[in-house]
Structure 1
Amino acid sequence: MIVSRDSATTLVDPDFDENDVRTMSPRRNSEEVDKLGEEARKDLIEQAKVLQMSLQAIVDRVETVKSEHEKLEGGNKFLQSYIGELMQTSKITSTAPLKKGKGRSGK
């Protein structure tokens, strides 16, 4: 429905039928609204605390995993160095000329 600005103002009758939804909605006074607001605030604070504890647990776990990773990485570097040195040693010993000496076949 379109009403122009120039039309006369009509008053709306505030009487609603008893089956109208607007008459069924609960009316709350300011004390009840304040109480509901305080309950909602407490719930939000509690939820925030739970989320903070959860976040702290995740941060602690990340730090633990990071520490374990650094230890494993150090062990890996040590093993790589050790294997590299063994490979160098095996190359040196395999390229050394064999000495002809007394053996089973040389009588």
Structure 2
Amino acid sequence: FIPCNWQVQSAQAQLKKRDVVTLSPTGSGKTLTFWIPLLFNDGGITILITPLTILGDKNVIELQEVNIPVVDLSTATATDTIFEFQVIIVSPKRILSDRCFDTLW
């Protein structure tokens, strides 16, 4: 798979610690824009905010297939051990309601 120019540009901006907002149609490959930096993210944590449970589940499966430590944050998984994962997938509702995220920003 060869990424498109806009996907590479987004990934490069993230690696330079810039804030990135990507607007693109469904199915165009937005997910790849935050997966590429994971390949260069040694020891960091990526928080993926997704409004749909099915998208979170899909990301967990696909990241596990390439051996990237990932957790879909839920009541059952919301423990101190989540920080051993490289990717934490969470809903906007949990971000707004869980005070532990206040210290991350």
Is the pair's TM-score, using the shorter chain for normalization, greater than 0.5? no
Structure with bigger RCO (C-alpha 8 Å, 6+ apart): 2
TM-score for both structures, normalised by structure 2: 0.18
Higher strand share: 2
